[in-house]
Amino acid sequence: MESEKARLAVPFAWQREQWGRLCQQHADNRLPHALLLAGPKGVGKLHLASAFGCYLLCLSPLNNAACGHCKGCDLNLSGTHPDLLLLRPEDGSRVIKIDQVRSLTEFLSKTAQQGGRKVAVIEPAEGLNANSANALLKSLEEPSGDTTLLLVSHLTSGVLATIRSRCQLLPFAIPSTDDGLAWLAPLAVGQDPEYLLKCAAGAPLAAFALLDGDKLVKQEALIKGLLGVATHNASPLALAAELASGEPLVVIESMQQWLQSGFRQQASGGEASAGRDAQLVNLLAATPATVAYRFWDKLVRLKRQSLSAANPNKQLLLEELMLDWQALARQSRYA
């Protein structure tokens, strides 16, 4: 497994625990039919799902790893394995449509072309709306043959309960800073990897994604804007108007990450770290729990709303969010 491509079949260093658990379940012949890989965005859940699919379809796996040389591995590494199906929203949509689920049902009903197992990866599971989730239920309830369904979710509370209850949960957390930096540093050419990682609330793949185009500049502007509102130096409505030119989802997910960091800091009683984003986390960590949890619920609801096919009014949604943010900051003991 020397090639760049072959690395696709290997989990990230911080995923040893999840990988070990999956391999053990597989070895014991008690791998669940459907798994829900859940955790913050940008920690590599989809990567792990693909790598595990590659492992399951490898013809001669060795030491809990795909061999990288067999026909199954060749097909997987070139992205053309007929027994692996990846289901993601298409054509700029955020929703996995019912027709896509029907093609999955058809895929599952056929015999594996390479004679082994069949694997389907669905990402994100919260992209399944009521109709498409309904269409998937039968496949979840009555598994056909040797199939494994790997559902990936960045927001489990956004996954319909009927789906959630039929999957075994495999949780993922933000990796340690050391693990994150070890992976990110060689990729962050010309940038400070520590700073990038902080801007992405510790999620390595999200930090890497910030290197793309002007995303880092936008993220820095978001942090500055939120701090401005929190310290009464900027208007929440003006910030909402400014942010409306982008994707509310990016704002919501970033705020979720910071809030999660705040919860962690609160729980550990840890010291505040340096950096602009740390001010945000400190502010959140110093917010009364009831207020912080109410804000979390709001973020979940707005995320669901922005993921819905109904195309909500971006500016209104952001105005609601920024007014809530201002109200939260007023109650923080930090500000």
Q: Which are the contacts of 6, defined by CB distance < 8 A and separation ≥ 6?
A: 68, 73, 77
Identify the CA nearest to 292 among candidates 318, 329, 317, 323. Answer: 329
Number of residues that bind Zn ion (CB under 5 A): 5
Which residues ranging from 69 to 88 are in contact with Zn ion (CB under 5 A)?
A: 70, 73
* Exposure class string for 208-222: b at 16+ Cβ within 10 A, else e: bbbeeeebbebbbeb
Q: Which are the contacts of 327, defined by CB distance < 8 A and separation ≥ 6?
A: none
Q: Which is nearer to Zn ion, 10 or 43 (CB)?
A: 10
Nearest distance, CB of residue 8 and Zn ion, angstroms: 13
**For Zn ion, which stretch binds (CB under 5 A), given 66-74, 78-86, 138-146, 182-190?**
66-74
What letter would DSSP give residue 270? P
Q: Which residue in the set 10, 67, 243, 283 belongs to the binding site for Zn ion (CB under 5 A)?
A: 67
Q: Which is nearer to Zn ion, 121 or 210 (CB)?
A: 121
Q: Which is nearer to Zn ion, 67 or 302 (CB)?
A: 67
Q: Which is nearer to Zn ion, 60 or 109 (CB)?
A: 60
Q: Which two tokens stand for residue 323?
A: 């007014």
Q: Which is nearer to Zn ion, 72 or 225 (CB)?
A: 72
Nearest distance, CB of residue 119 and Zn ion, angstroms: 14
Nearest distance, CB of residue 81 and Zn ion, angstroms: 11
The mark string for 30-59 relative to Zn ion (x by CB under 5 A, - otherwise) is ----------------------------x-
Taking a C-beta distance cutoff of 8 angstroms, is the pair 319, 139 a contact?
Answer: no
Which residues ranging from 287 to 326 are in contact with Zn ion (CB under 5 A)?
A: none
For CA atoms 310, 313, 317, 318, give the dihedral sign: positive
Nearest distance, CB of residue 115 and Zn ion, angstroms: 14
Q: Which is nearer to Zn ion, 59 or 137 (CB)?
A: 59
Nearest distance, CB of residue 46 and Zn ion, angstroms: 20
Is residue 9 at the binding interface for Zn ion, with CB under 5 A as the rule? no
Taking a C-beta distance cutoff of 8 angstroms, is the pair 149, 125 a contact?
Answer: no
Angle at alpha carbon of residue 278, lines to 335 and 236, rounded to 5°: 50
Q: Which is nearer to Zn ion, 68 or 262 (CB)?
A: 68
C-alpha 53/C-alpha 102 separation (Å) is 21
**For Zn ion, which stretch binds (CB under 5 A), given 67-75, 100-108, 192-200, 283-291?**
67-75
Nearest distance, CB of residue 118 and Zn ion, angstroms: 16
Nearest distance, CB of residue 87 and Zn ion, angstroms: 23
Q: Which two tokens stand for residue 145?
A: 């043959």
Taking a C-beta distance cutoff of 8 angstroms, is the pair 8, 54 a contact?
Answer: yes
Taking a C-beta distance cutoff of 8 angstroms, is the pair 75, 172 a contact?
Answer: no
Contact residues for Zn ion, defined by CB under 5 A: 58, 66-67, 70, 73
